């Protein structure tokens, strides 16, 4: 009787999980070791979040930034299971999904990322829109379209949170709405982009001013209503009218992950070793936004796509090495820099000793992201579409 292959379950098909699965698939598995690889995600598609803004302006189409897992896994050994993970029994090594029977695992990868906190500001759940998923982007686009149809003179949008997501979104919204947009960027800290380089901060400031985005610093939003929001600024409370409130207010670990009997940080992130193994559970790996750890040099690893992608290579290697009795590698984070999109045809880029902004930075950012998209086939299809799209648009204009 043939033995059951060892089963690796990867929970979450984002930057950490998807790229771990794809890399794992490339290793030379000998027959005796060949495992079953199952990736589980609530959605049927991956999402390349750094390009989500481009959906708001129509610069890109959803198939380009959100390829379906079934397409990505064609001709691989990876199986995709769609479902929402609701619990994990660490003792019995079983995963509970909302839509099918439990799954067992031998090795587990936790890569479910985080969510936008909707419990910090009153009214967020009813009247605030997060900006994190494909559905969020569709929802924002629909609301903008409805406002554009209903309104004639101005559309007032408040973006809450002045981090990278907030400033990038504010610029894209300003370009999308043009003269009728009144964009307000609300940040409770003393400055925007608290972790960015001076060069990028200056480029951001210029791009926001050029687009007439109003910046409110040291401003705390306390309540969101159906068409207004309340804010505290320098001891004063004010209520301002708004048509749309978008939240880019950071990350929160999923509630049930906080409850797992594993070692957590104060914010509920899962503590892992530099080999990406969960403390006291070498059969479980965790990476990406839900993991809290310092790399082998003692450097705190940021919660970005860049870091999750780098971790995925180590995670895949260490899974393979642990199964084929090879030494594990300790993760070493390489900060490659930061790229920000600042409207249509504009971006800023600072990393590896190079810094520039404007249309060239926009093009460079696009090409780097094209290279980062998963699978060569998807990169090729998207690249080809980018190359022929301007010609197709010209032809359509000529015909109509
Ligand atoms: C709008 C936006 C723009 C960003 N831009 C950048 C950028 O330019 N550069 C950068 O470095 N970082 C950027 N980030 C941050 C980056 O997206 C995250 O750091 C990165 O995605 C983390 O990877 P991850 O694998 O931990 O989680 P994710 O990529 O978020 O993936 C988590 C996956 O788990 C799935 N999932 C979650 N819970 C469950 C469940 N219970 N059951 C089943 N599936 C589940 C989700 O559907 C998702 O597919 C951006 C984030 C956002 C929201």
pLDDT of residue 2: 55
User: Of ligand 1's atoms, which has the minimum distance to the CA of residue 312?
Assistant: 25
| 117 CA distance to ligand 1 middle (Å) | 14
pLDDT of residue 6: 94
| 12 CA distance to ligand 1 middle (Å) | 9
Q: What is the pLDDT of residues 33-82, one digit of tens each?
A: 789 999 999 999 999 999 999 999 999 999 999 999 999 999 999 999 99
User: Of ligand 1's atoms, which has the minimum distance to the CA of residue 17?
Assistant: 25
Mean pLDDT of 8-34: 93
Residue identifier of the C-alpha nearest atom 41 of ligand 1: 85
Q: CA 154, CA 179: separation in Å to the nearest integer?
A: 8
User: Of ligand 1's atoms, which has the minimum distance to the CA of residue 46?
Assistant: 49
| 313 CA distance to ligand 1 middle (Å) | 17
Q: What is the pLDDT of residues 239-294, one digit of tens each?
A: 999 999 999 998 999 988 999 999 999 889 999 999 999 999 999 999 999 999 88
Q: What is the pLDDT of residues 294-339, one digit of tens each?
A: 888 888 899 999 999 999 999 999 999 999 999 999 999 999 999 9
Residue 170 in this model has a pLDDT that exceeds 50? yes
Q: Which percentage of the chain shows pLDDT scores above 90?
A: 85
Q: CA 67, CA 142: separation in Å to the nearest integer?
A: 21
Mean pLDDT of 13-42: 93
Residue identifier of the C-alpha nearest atom 29 of ligand 1: 14
pLDDT of residue 93: 97
User: Of ligand 1's atoms, which has the minimum distance to the CA of residue 287?
Assistant: 26
Asked if residues 229 and 240 have their Cβ atoms less than 8 Å apart, the reply is: yes
| 114 CA distance to ligand 1 middle (Å) | 7
| 399 CA distance to ligand 1 middle (Å) | 41
pLDDT of residue 1: 45
| 49 CA distance to ligand 1 middle (Å) | 7
Locate 77 and state its tokens. Answer: 């050994």
Exposed (0-12), middle (13-18) or buried (19+): which is 179, by Cβ within 10 Å? exposed
Q: What is the pLDDT of residues 84-125, one digit of tens each?
A: 999 999 999 999 999 877 999 999 999 999 999 998 899 999
Q: Name 188's Cβ contacts closer than 8 Å, sequence gap at least 6.
A: 218, 219, 220, 221
Residue identifier of the C-alpha nearest atom 2 of ligand 1: 49
Identify which of 21, 38, 102, 112 to mutate to test ligand 1's pocket (most ligand atoms within 8 A of the CB). 112
| 136 CA distance to ligand 1 middle (Å) | 13
Mean pLDDT of 165-172: 98
Place of tokens 């951001």: 204
Give which of 43, 45, 39 is closest to 62, Cα–Cα: 45
Where are the strands (E) in 22-74, listed by range? 36-41
Mean pLDDT of 1-26: 92
| 265 CA distance to ligand 1 middle (Å) | 19
Residue identifier of the C-alpha nearest atom 19 of ligand 1: 304
Q: Name 201's Cβ contacts closer than 8 Å, sequence gap at least 6.
A: 191, 192, 193
Residue identifier of the C-alpha nearest atom 31 of ligand 1: 14
Q: Name 59's Cβ contacts closer than 8 Å, sequence gap at least 6.
A: 344
| 135 CA distance to ligand 1 middle (Å) | 14
Using a 6 Å CB cutoff, which residues line ligand 1? 12-17, 40-43, 49-50, 52, 84-85, 111-113, 131-132, 165, 254, 288-290, 303-306, 308
Give which of 255, 252, 257, 328 is closest to 11, Cα–Cα: 257
Exposed (0-12), middle (13-18) or buried (19+): which is 327, by Cβ within 10 Å? exposed
pLDDT of residue 263: 94
pLDDT of residue 243: 96
Q: What domains can you pick out in the chain, each with its CATH number?
A: 7-42+83-114+252-323 (3.50.50.60), 124-247 (3.50.50.60), 338-399 (no CATH)
Instruction: Determine which of 137-146, 259-268, 366-375, 384-393 has the lowest per-residue pLDDT on average.
Output: 384-393
Asked if residues 242 and 157 have their Cβ atoms less than 8 Å apart, the reply is: yes
User: Of ligand 1's atoms, which has the minimum distance to the CA of residue 43?
Assistant: 47
Number of residues in the chain: 400
User: Of ligand 1's atoms, which has the minimum distance to the CA of residue 131?
Assistant: 1
| 66 CA distance to ligand 1 middle (Å) | 12
Residue identifier of the C-alpha nearest atom 44 of ligand 1: 41
Q: What is the pLDDT of residues 339-359, one digit of tens each?
A: 999 999 999 999 989 999 999
């Amino acid at each position: 009787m043939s033995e059951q292959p060892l089963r690796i379950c990867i929970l979450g098909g984002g930057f950490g999980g998807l790229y771990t699965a794809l890399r794992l698939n490339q290793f030379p598995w000998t027959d005796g070791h060949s495992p079953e690889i199952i990736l589980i995600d609530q959605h049927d598609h991956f999402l390349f979040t750094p390009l989500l803004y481009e959906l708001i302006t129509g610069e890109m189409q959803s198939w380009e930034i959100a390829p379906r897992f079934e397409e990505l896994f064609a001709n691989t050994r990876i199986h995709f299971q769609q479902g929402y993970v609701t619990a994990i029994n660490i003792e019995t090594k079983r995963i509970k999904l909302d839509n099918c029977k439990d799954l067992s695992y031998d090795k587990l990868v936790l890569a479910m990322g985080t969510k936008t906190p909707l419990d910090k500001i009153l009214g967020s759940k009813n009247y605030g829109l997060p900006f994190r998923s494909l559905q969020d982007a569709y929802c924002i686009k629909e609301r903008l379209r409805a406002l554009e149809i209903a309104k004639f003179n101005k559309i007032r949008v408040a973006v809450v949170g002045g981090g990278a997501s907030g400033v990038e979104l504010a610029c894209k919204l300003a370009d999308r709405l043009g003269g009728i947009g009144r964009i307000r960027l609300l940040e409770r800290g003393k400055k925007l982009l608290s972790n960015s380089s001076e060069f990028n901060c200056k480029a951001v400031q210029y791009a926001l001013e050029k687009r007439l985005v109003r910046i409110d610093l040291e401003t705390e939003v306390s309540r969101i209503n159906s068409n207004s929001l309340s804010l505290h600024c320098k001891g004063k409370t004010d209520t301002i009218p708004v048509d749309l409130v978008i939240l880019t207010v950071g990350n929160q670990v999923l509630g049930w992950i906080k409850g797992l009997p594993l070692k957590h940080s104060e914010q509920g992130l899962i503590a892992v070793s530099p080999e990406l193994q969960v403390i006291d559970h070498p059969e479980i790996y965790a990476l990406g936004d839900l993991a809290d750890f310092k790399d082998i040099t003692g450097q705190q690893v940021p919660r970005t796509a860049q870091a999750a992608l780098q971790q995925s290579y180590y995670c895949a290697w260490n899974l393979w090495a642990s199964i084929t009795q090879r030494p594990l590698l300790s993760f070493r984070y390489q900060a490659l820099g930061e790229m920000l999109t600042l409207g249509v045809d504009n971006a800023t880029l600072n990393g590896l000793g190079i810094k520039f902004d404007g249309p060239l930075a926009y093009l460079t950012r696009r090409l780097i992201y094209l290279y980062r998209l998963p699978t060569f086939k998807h990169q090729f299809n998207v690249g080809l579409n980018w190359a022929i799209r301007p010609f197709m648009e010209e032809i359509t204009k000529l015909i109509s």
